[in-house]
């Protein structure tokens, strides 16, 4: 079992879209996309899914049943078959569910089969999401290469030392200077994708973000070294 978190620190340069693309193109084994965003979820609205099952129902059941197969009882299927665990739209409900899951979910994940990968959309890396990130195997933090966003990454290495940065779009600083400034490795530098929202809404399947996510997924699944750019 592998858990890969996707997050941002301040603004959100397409975290949910990238997490969805990464899960949809993951190259090996069984994959589940878990929407662990304390600010509330987007997937249920975009794909017209039911409010339950999802992380709220999962949090309730894990209080009494922590067998590994319980995770799959709380998934729903997207149109192309990807299994997702959605977060409530309301922030208060999402936060309450995640507060409970920080206690129970990490132990359950450890019991899963080695061929299962969990892609976790952590939203902004703060509070409960930062706690969950600490138990992930890898954490990809999306940021634009601009001073206002990079400044928020400087202390991330202490809390999440296994974090790697995915730079999104153009900015002031090239990857090498970013690494020197913040002390974190750059997993990739991907182009801004004007069609990303169309992918998130299910209207397009081939976009820049999908191609980038596929290449990053291949590299991660093979435990490849960090890339300077994609």
Q: Which domains does the chain have, with CATH numbers?
A: 2-221 (3.40.50.300)
pLDDT of residue 1: 81
Q: Please provide residue 76's backbone torsions phi and psi, each rounded to the nearest 5 degrees.
A: -130, 160
CA distances for 178 relative to 86, 93, 175, 204, angstroms: 33, 36, 5, 32
**For position 230, what pLDDT does the model report?**
40
pLDDT for the residue 198: 65
A 10 A CB-CB count for 73 gives: 13
- pTM equals 0.89
Segments in the chain below pLDDT 50: 228-230
Q: Residue 197: its pLDDT value, please?
A: 66
């Amino acid at each position: 079992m592998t858990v890969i978190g996707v997050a941002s620190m301040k603004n959100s340069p397409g975290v949910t879209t990238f997490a969805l693309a990464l899960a949809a193109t993951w190259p090996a084994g069984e994959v589940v996309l878990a929407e662990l965003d304390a600010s509330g979820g987007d997937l249920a609205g975009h794909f017209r899914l039911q409010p339950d099952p999802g992380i709220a129902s999962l949090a309730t059941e894990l209080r009494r049943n922590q067998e590994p197969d319980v995770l799959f009882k709380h998934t729903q299927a997207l149109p192309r078959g990807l299994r997702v665990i959605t977060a409530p739209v309301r922030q208060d409900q999402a936060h309450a569910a995640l507060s409970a899951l920080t206690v129970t979910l990490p132990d359950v994940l450890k019991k899963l089969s080695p061929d299962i990968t969990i892609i976790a959309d952590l939203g902004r890396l703060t509070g409960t999401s930062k706690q969950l990130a600490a138990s992930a195997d890898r954490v990809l933090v999306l940021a634009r290469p601009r001073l206002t966003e990079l400044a928020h990454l400087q202390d991330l290495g202490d809390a999440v030392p296994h974090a790697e940065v995915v730079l999104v779009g153009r900015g002031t600083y090239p990857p090498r200077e970013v690494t020197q400034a913040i002390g974190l490795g750059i997993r990739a530098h991907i182009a801004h994708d004007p069609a990303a929202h169309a992918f998130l809404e299910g209207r397009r399947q081939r976009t820049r973000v999908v191609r980038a996510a596929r290449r990053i997924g291949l590299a991660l699944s093979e435990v490849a070294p960090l890339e300077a750019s994609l």
